[in-house]
Chains A and B, each alone.
Chain A
Amino acid sequence: MNLNRRTLLASGATAATLATLGLPVRAQEGPLKVGFIYVGPVGDGGWTFQHDLARQAVEEQFGDAVETVFQESVPEGADAERAITQMILGGAKMIFTTSFGYMDATASVAAKFPDVKFEHATGYKTAPNLAVYDARFYEGRAVMGTIAGRMTKSNKIGYIGSFPIPEVIQGINSSFIHARKVNPDVEMVVIWAYTWFDPAKEADAAKAMIEQGVDVILQHTDSTAPQAAAQEAGNVITFGQASDMAAFKPSPRVSSIIDNWGPYYIQRIQAALDGTWASQAYWGGIGDGVVQIGEITEAVPAEVKAEAEALAASIADGSYHPFTGPLNKQDGSPWLAEGQVATDEELHGLNFYVEGISGEIPS
């Protein structure tokens, strides 16, 4: 027994020594381990699903050179810090945290592990080893808003908001501005769900809107439940959010905003492999291919489709910016003068509705 234990200890020590000696060599030759923190399940059919598609694209692109790990449904807040740290202790050298609510957790872990590279989605805190990346979803919302304004018969457009953060407020404003541009009678009904993913609540929110006479629903939450609710109601149209949500074609889902993160992830991981990775703040739009407009179905009249596609093209080539003056704030005070364009800084901190939207943004 004693002998056994001693042998065991000895062999354990040998293994440990070997591991210590072997580790630096292996770290150079082995695959780069990249970790992904997801806010929802990969099967959500929306936001997280798209991030996971991009992760799969990374695996395909790099093969054995990169190893990816991911954790689903990580709560935003303090627990995220634990999840990220655990991933790093598991050997991850690069971490993508894919939701706004991970911002503080990511920044705090990044300070503790200066050798690990961090990429945080939709946030604004950067550090030498912490880059942020985001997509100009509001560009896609402008296209959806145009279709919404043309398609509504009740002149009531609903928007299911998740949390009152700038990204969502940009989306509400952009949809409304462009809906009203083509239909001056349009009104906007906003419901804050206070969740990114809760199918039952999202379905209830959609139903509450439909009961109020809303016949076009835009969603900024990640499940397909509002699509199903609209389908049941029959005469309501919706737009895919984050993912194409093609199962609901041709109606209620008449188009969609697709997040296409793959090219960005591949480019950044390539930079990390080449040693050229540097912290940055990236904000790509339709022109960069990060935001894609999903197929506009035959439920939309051809001239509306053409109008929407022309708008998307003008945003893509940079000739038009969705936030171009004259635009007033909700209280009527001027925001952008004629021809003036909102700066990225203004948009990153956007915390007010534009003129014409009723209701208050919860603080």
Chain B
Amino acid sequence: MDLGGISPILLLASLMVASTPILLAALGELVVERAGVLNLGVEGMMITGAITGFAAAVATGSALIGFLGAAAGGAALSALFAVLVLWLRSNQVATGLALTLFGLGVASLIGQSYNGVRAPAMPDLHIPVLADIPVLGPILFQHDLVVYLGLALVAGVWWFLNRSRAGLTLRAVGENHEAAHALGYKVLRLRLLAILFGGACAGLGGAYLSLVRVPQWTEGLTAGAGWIALAIVVFASWRPLRLLLGAWLFGGISVLQLNLQAARVPVPVELLSMAPYLVTILVLVLISSGKGRAALAAPGSLGQPFHASR
């Protein structure tokens, strides 16, 4: 296809940036769901992280401290969710949706005094030598710290789930919490930790929007990114490496269609915008169809409340 003057290097570089917020949020949600908890509050945690991170960055003048504040904000909101669903055993779907609404409200409340405020700039991590490699340099090595943090987290989560004992325990809790409990694992404690991790990751993803990508605070900043993150987890069939692909696909298509338009290549915009969702539906169909079901299936205890007495 004629790309009409779009530089593929710049395109891939902006793909890395565009996919980072949804990658971070989706990765957190993946761990939460592998532990058997469905938290639909990603959007709420993201936007809460976006504003707490923005506030922390403005207060301290450091974008990096801002990201710490974002992780703390996201985790704090998810702690609320954890108490409700783990100990009070409320319905996870309803609680998650409520968390989204609550998060949007809290964020807009905190954000009242931050409209039009500028965020401190993120230090550009220009990696010496590597950044100057002709093609790969701009694509891979001229980003900020958080892009690399996202990639490192993908590798870390993959290693944790597949190669570590604690990760195996977490998966066991997600697949069958009764059995895990019978073996003496602390189901609720593990789930709490997973939920907090998920909240922190969502917060980081939100702050990446408010501190790097946009970068400023406006209400409704995340504009549905949290829901896309949820879709990516399903798309990736709960696997970290596929999740990375999914995030690149979603982020890439959104950037690509804007670039195609800017280059005045006649493409049906609506179709391209729809594409990631169509692929997600396709994957869902594949998952629920018989073949390869075991390989693709969701964690066995996903969405079910746990109580030790049963």
Query: Is the Cβ of A189 less than 8 Å from the Cβ of B262?
Result: yes
Let me know if B223 and A199 touch, CB within 8 A.
yes
Q: In the complex, how many residues of chain B place their beta carbon closer than 8 angstroms to a beta carbon of chain A? A: 39
A69 interface residue, CB < 8 Å from B? no
- List A contacts of B10 (CB < 8 A): 211
Which one, A205, A223, A360, A362, contacts B258 given CB within 8 A?
A: A205
Instruction: Give, as a whole number of angstroms, the nearest-CB distance from A42 to chain B.
Output: 8
A56 interfacial contact with B, CB 8 Å: no
Binary contact readout A190-201 vs B (1 if CB under 8 angstroms, 0 otherwise): 111111011111
Name A362's contact: one of B209, B216, B218, B270 (CB within 8 Å). B270
Is B269 interfacial (CB-CB < 8 Å)?
yes
Interface residue from A42, A43, A45, A158 paired with B262 (Cβ < 8 Å)? A158
Q: Which single residue of chain B is at the shortest CB-CB distance from A232?
A: B215
Taking CB atoms and an 8 Å cut-off, the chain B residues in 63-115 that contact chain A are 108, 111-112, 115
Please, which residues of chain B bring their CB within 8 A of the CB of A209? 262
Segment 178-197 of A: residues with Cβ below 8 Å from B: 189-195, 197
Question: Contact between A207 and B269 (Cβ–Cβ < 8 Å)?
Answer: no
Interface members, chain A 134-191 (any B CB < 8 Å): 158, 189-191
Query: Bound complex: CA of A209 vs CA of B254, how far in Å?
Result: 14
Q: Identify B273's interface contact among A44, A189, A194, CB under 8 A.
A: A194
Tell whether A200 pairs with B258 under 8 Å between CB atoms, given A212-B5, A362-B270.
no
User: CA separation between A195 and B261, bound complex, in Å?
Assistant: 15
Bound-complex Cα distance A271 to B310 (A)? 68
Chain A residues within an 8 Å CB radius of B269: 192, 194, 362
Q: Which of B111, B216, B262, B273 contacts A214 (CB 8 A)?
A: B262
- Judging by beta carbons under 8 Å apart, are B215 and A228 in contact? yes
How far apart sit A133 and B183, CA to CA, in the bound complex (Å)? 69
User: Once bound together, how far apart are the Cα atoms of A111 and B292, in whole Å?
Assistant: 54
Tell me the complex Cα distance, A41–B111, Å. Answer: 12
Q: Does B7 have its Cβ within 8 Å of any Cβ on chain A?
A: yes
Would you list which residues of chain B between 195 and 217 have a CB under 8 Å from chain A? 209, 213-216
Is B219 at the interface (CB under 8 A from chain A)? yes
- Count chain A residues whose beta carbon lies closer than 8 angstroms to a beta carbon of B: 39
Contact A45-B261, Cβ < 8 Å, known A203-B213, A204-B255: no
Q: Within 8 Å CB of B266, what residues of A?
A: 359-360
Name the A residues within 8 Å of B255 (CB-CB): 204, 208
Whether, in the assembled complex, B221 has its beta carbon less than 8 Å from a beta carbon of chain A, the answer is yes
Report the separation of the CA atoms of residues A214 and B255 in the bound assembly, to the nearest whole angstrom. Answer: 17
Given the known interface contacts A203-B213, A209-B262, the answer about A45 and B223 at a Cβ–Cβ threshold of 8 Å is no
* Nearest Cβ on chain B to A202's Cβ, whole angstroms: 8
Instruction: Tell me which residues across on chain B come within 8 A of A358, comparing CB atoms.
Output: 264
Q: What secondary structure prevails in chain A residues at the interface with B? A: mixed
- Specify the chain B residue showing the minimal Cβ separation from A360: B266
- Contact between chains at B14 and A43 (CB < 8 Å): no
User: CB within 8 A of A208: which of B108, B209, B214, B262?
Assistant: B262
A260 close to B (CB within 8 Å): no
Answer yes or no: B21 CB below 8 A from chain A CBs: yes
Which residue of B is nearest A193, CB measured?
Answer: B258
| Residues of the B chain whose Cβ atoms lie less than 8 Å from the Cβ of A195 | 223
How distant is A293 from chain B, measured CB to nearest CB, in Å? 21
Flag if A43 contacts B219 (CB, 8 Å): yes
* Interface flag for B263 (CB, 8 Å): yes
What is the 8 Å Cβ interface bit string for chain A, positions 265-296, against chain B (1 contact, 0 not)? 00000000000000000000000000000000
* Nearest CB of chain B from residue A304's CB, rounded to whole Å: 26
State whether the Cβ of B18 lies closer than 8 Å to any Cβ in chain A. Answer: yes
By a CB distance below 8 angstroms, the chain A residues around B7 are: 211
Q: Is A224's beta carbon under 8 Å from chain B?
A: yes
Q: Is the CB of A44 within 8 A of B218?
A: yes
Give bound CA distance, A197 to B222, whole Å: 10
Q: Would you call B270 and A197 a contact (CB within 8 A)?
A: no
Q: Which residues of A contact B218 (CB under 8 A)?
A: 41, 43-45, 199, 223-225
Q: B259 near A: Cβ within 8 Å?
A: yes
Contact of B21 among A189, A200, A224 (CB under 8 A): A200
Using A199-B221, A200-B21 as known contacts, say yes or no to A191 and B270 having CB atoms under 8 A apart. Answer: no
Which residues of chain A have C-beta atoms less than 8 A from B223's C-beta?
195, 197-201
Assembled-state Cα–Cα distance A90/B10 (Å) = 53
A44-B220, A194-B270, A228-B214 known; A199 and B209 CB under 8 Å? yes
User: Interface centre among A193, A194, A199, A207, by most B CB within 10 Å?
Assistant: A199
Cα A39 to Cα B90 in complex, Å, equals 33
| Cβ of A247 under 8 Å from chain B | yes
Q: Which of B10, B264, B273 has the most chain A CB within a 10 Å cutoff?
A: B264
- On chain B, the residues within 8 Å of A198 by CB distance are 223-224
- The reply to whether A212 and B262 contact each other, CB–CB distance below 8 Å, is yes
List of A residues within 8 angstroms of B108 by Cβ: 41, 43
Q: B9 → chain A, closest Cβ, in Å?
A: 10
B184 interface hit (Cβ, 8 Å): no
Given contacts A200-B209, A211-B7, contact A191 B214 (CB under 8 A): no
Contact partner, A199, options B118, B214, B259, Cβ 8 Å: B214
What 5 new A-B contacts, CB under 8 Å, besides A200-B225, A204-B255, A212-B6? A43-B115, A45-B115, A194-B273, A195-B223, A209-B262
7 A-B residue pairings within 8 Å (CB atoms): A200-B209, A201-B223, A204-B18, A204-B213, A204-B258, A208-B14, A211-B6
